[in-house]
Structure 1
Amino acid sequence: MSRSIVALAALAAAISAYAAAAATADNATAADQKLIKSAMQAAPAKVSANATIVEMGKDGMRTVRAGSNGFTCMADNPVTPGPDPMCMDAAAMEWANAWVGHKEPAAGKIGFMYMLAGGTDASNTDPYADKPSANNHWVKTGSHVMIVGADPAFYDMYPKAADPDTSVPYVMWPGTPYQHLMIPVK
């Protein structure tokens, strides 16, 4: 009987979280609904449905919809030439904040990120490049997931080419504090 009560309590909590997310989405402006829809494309529906949705702006990050599962999803960046919404767990969010802040990511915090809508062009060698140049090895990736924050030795078993084959796992930004494993998915 106690298992039934625990199961019912868990179900009630899940329904409550879903209802809160749905109510937030229903009360959102048309612009926020567009951001939510874009951000939710980054991860499987079972992840994005209960993820926090944020928008990155010139004044920092704004929460568009609060979530309950520890994942944070960001909408497509309209400045980039193609789709690039992403969704990440808490450790990956810390890693991303370190990268954006030009700080060293915390050691020993492995994170996971989804970019199931793909990624737009980016330099494979310079974490801060904002446009292609003769030396920054611009690449375009399709649907992929990423592992960030692993020990440097973890990345040693994967290709670190400046111009990688993006159809197989490879290391992006090798040799920098922000190196991470890119894993294509279909």
Structure 2
Amino acid sequence: MNRVSLWTIVLSGAALMLPAAALAEDGDAAKEAMIARAMSAGPAQIADDAKIVHHDGSVLREGSNGWTCMPSMGPGMDFPMCNDATWMAFMQAFAEKKDPNPTGVGVSYMFAGDVPVNNDDPFDTTQDPGETWVAEGPHIMVIVPDAATTLKDMTNNPNAGGPYVMFKNTPYAHIMIPTGPRPEPGDK
């Protein structure tokens, strides 16, 4: 039996034995854990008043400062992030494979790092020989209007030792600013 189906059976059986009040408490504890995870993505002065949104779009906590933090980006992408409104619009365009065309600077914090991605092709899902893939550690991401012109002279080499452009020469080009070490291969 694979691990997923075993855990499904174990958790389903355990849930049947818990009283309704305990299930509500567990739900509250899980929600609070997701909120804490989302808040860990950015600086406290932003995360403390940010809206917290699950990757499915459900609001876990309302916010008051125009920022949105998420505990993960989706199944298998357990990396929290905090985004300003410009970055949220950028993410929506990315999800729909549309050009984002930001009119101002956008900022995103990912203090827990990110999943490995092809630094040149935003939609590549398979690492092939010769491609530049990077699993960034803690970092800040910045988008700018007219990235093709603004970022044309900035390196896209993630190993250059400082900020670099991810997805250069695509509509999704943005600045990556590492703030800590990268994970070792095999680390999450």
Q: TM-score range by the shorter chain?
A: 0.7 to 0.9
Deviating above 6 A after TM superposition, structure 1's stretches of 4 or more consecutive aligned residues are: none
Q: Which of residues 121, 126, 138 is equivalent to 2:116?
A: 121
Extract unaligned runs of 5+ from structure 1. 1-25
Query: Counting strand residues as a fraction of each chain, which structure ranks higher?
Result: 1
Are residues 149 and 100 of structure 1, via their aligned partners in 2, closer, same or farther at CA, if it must alter by over 3 Å?
farther
Q: CA shift at 1:92, angstroms?
A: 0.9
The 3-state SS of whatever aligns with 2:153 is: coil
Partner of 2:134: 139
Q: CA shift at 1:153, angstroms?
A: 1.8
Query: What does 1:7-26 align with in structure 2 at a 5 Å threshold?
Result: none
Q: CA shift at 1:137, angstroms?
A: 2.4
Q: CA shift at 1:31, angstroms?
A: 2.0
The 3-state SS of whatever aligns with 2:115 is: strand
Q: CA shift at 1:136, angstroms?
A: 4.3
Question: 1:124-173 CA distances to partner (integer Å, 9 max, x unpaired)?
Answer: 11212234333542211111101114322221231023xx2164100001
Extract unaligned runs of 5+ from structure 2. 1-24, 181-188
Aligned-residue RMSD, C-alpha: 2.2
Q: How many residues align?
A: 154
Partner of 2:76: 79
Q: TM-score, normalised by structure 2?
A: 0.74
Partner of 1:48: 47
Q: TM-score, normalised by structure 1?
A: 0.74
**Alignment partner of 1:169 is 2:163:** yes
**Alignment partner of 1:160 is 2:159:** no
Question: 1:42-73 CA distances to partner (integer Å, 9 max, x unpaired)?
Answer: 1011110110111113xxx2211110000001
AA partner of residue 171 (structure 2) = P
For 1:69 and 1:38, the matched residues in 2 are separated by 18
AA partner of residue 128 (structure 2) = S
Q: Percent identity, aligned pairs only?
A: 36
